[in-house]
Structure 1
């Protein structure tokens, strides 16, 4: 919203117009969505608003948001082929049940808003992911739908980072896949240098077996040099698993301290794509996915109805922004 206001201030307008614009902009903020990291929507096949698939999807989404917080993961299906809907929700292994519920509820609302007609979609947040499809994807490792994020600051010793990070992530992968609880999650830290620790987290969706999880994490870790070589932090997030590292603690529980042997397992070297944006999924078109990171915050304490006075005022404001972006500044 600040970006929009700065743009508006470039143009000459009457005082009354500016006051009205500011009021409308402030009021419209409450209808923005919560922070998501990335989403992917299919464009085909599609469904209509009142279709049987839509009804089945609503049932699945209700089940996911109602049950995810019980143990941090849930899967659901509804209906019969060809209108059967499948879905799963996974919360990060260190989040509380209340935060899990909040995240999956936001995810269900956002993904329907951004992907109103596609039969398959995924949305990721820091605390959870939610996915649905018109086909059975349970137990299938999906590394094709992915995105990267990284810290923009470089590490002081990239060679040491490769060694320590390789050892830490291999240990965390072993911990996650050997956990008898089947959570397929592990977080921990190790010494990086005299003044810094290195923190890592790995997680898989719990519809996978331990061996499938290990293969997914291996694939994700192999992509760290592509996205994040030499960076102070980074993450590779796939539909079935994710890995992340930072030089600061980013998870709620401290996890397990991992030994850092003098000759750790190094990640393969690669040249980082400096300034490159996160990749769009191989199966998604630019119109059906949102390049990230993109963050915004808006409270959601009230609503408005279709064709209300507020909606007309909001639409007028958005048209103003759209037309102003193509105008030339005066003065």
Structure 2
């Protein structure tokens, strides 16, 4: 599926600067609430889910990725989170804590859900989602002026390059980022990551699918979200850093 929120502004070219600063606010991107199953209030599944979400949020103080299960049989719930590898632990902790409340607010009584932020993603399901390349749903989001379409091929080529970096033997996090200059005055930042429970070949498959799905409509910034991986980009004209945008 494809969807574009009415507002989202991703300024990825400055995330390397922001990554050293703990922030109280995080940038919501999108959520997915499966309609395949729902649990009842006060049920054993809800109790297991509440325990799981609390456990995940506590682990975000020292981990950028973590997965966990709670319960047995039909009431078993699987959950995981992934933080942008370039943000410090405090940002990850803030993001997962906010995501914990947001996923319950946006997807009440849903047996499977995902919430994405620029800084992190949080996911749970009533089925095994670990080590599985899941590309079953996807979202495109974009922001900023539409004036960069002449650099579409540069963006695709750069995504291919950073995807190779993320899935090479030198990457233990299945993530990579780069900033290049497409002209003397315009830079482009690209970031990709997969959930680290994937094997590199499945991460590569996820990212290659994402590259085929990402919108190339010339916007200043954008993101392609899938359950198992994501791709982000941003173009920046000279002087953007100094404006604080």
Q: Quick check: TM above 0.5?
A: yes
Q: Is the 8 A contact 2:61 2:90 kept in 1?
A: yes
1:128 Cα shift?
0.6
Q: Is the 8 A contact 2:152 2:216 kept in 1?
A: no
Question: Which residue is equivalent to 1:82?
Answer: 74
Structure 2 residue aligned with 1:108, among 100, 115, 120? 100
**Bigger mean CA deviation after superposition, 73-82 or 230-239:** 230-239
- 1:37 counterpart SS class: strand
Asked if 1:130 is matched to 2:122, the reply is yes
Structure 2 CA distance for partners of 1:36 and 1:234, relative to 1, 3 Å: closer
Q: For 1:120 and 1:218, how far apart are their aligned partners in 2?
A: 25
Distance verdict in 2 for CA 1:175–1:34, change over 3 Å: closer
Q: Please list the CA deviations of residues 237-275 of structure 1 after superposition, one character each: whole Å capped at 9, or x if unmatched.
A: 1111111111139xxxxxxxxxxxxxxxxxxxxxxxxxx
User: Secondary structure of the equivalent of 2:189?
Assistant: strand
Indicate the RMSD between aligned Cα atoms, in angstroms: 1.9
Distance 1:143 1:212 in 2: 11
Deviations 1:75-108 (A, max 9, x none): 0001111110100001111111111011001101
Take 1:238 and 1:162, find their aligned partners in 2: how far apart are those partners?
21
Contact 1:168–1:189 (8 Å) recurs in 2: no
The equivalences for 1:82-231 within 5 A come to: 82-156=74-148, 158-159=149-150, 161-224=151-214, 227-231=215-219
Using the TM superposition, name which of 63-72 and 120-129 deviates more.
63-72
Displacement, 1:180? Answer: 3.8
Does structure 2 retain, via aligned residues, the 8 Å contact 1:122–1:132? yes
Deviations 1:151-204 (A, max 9, x none): 342335x34x13322332121111111154520111111120121111110111
* Aligned residues of 1:150 and 1:228 also touching (Cα < 8 A): no
TM-score (norm 1): 0.61
Give the Cα separation in 1 of the matches to 2:152 and 2:108: 42
- 1:301-316 equivalent positions in 2, closer than 5 A: none
Displacement of 1:220:
0.7
- Of Structure 1 and Structure 2, the greater strand share is in 2
Pair member with larger Rg: 1
2:230 aligned partner: 242
Instruction: Figure out how many residues of one structure are paired with residues of the other and give that number.
Output: 213
What secondary structure, in the 3-state scheme, does the structure 1 residue paired with 2:75 have?
coil
Unaligned runs of 5+ in 1: 1-32, 250-331
- Matches of 1:116 and 1:151 in 2, distance apart? 28
Write the distance in 2 (CA, Å) between the matches of 1:187 and 1:238.
Answer: 18
Distance 1:155 1:215 in 2: 30
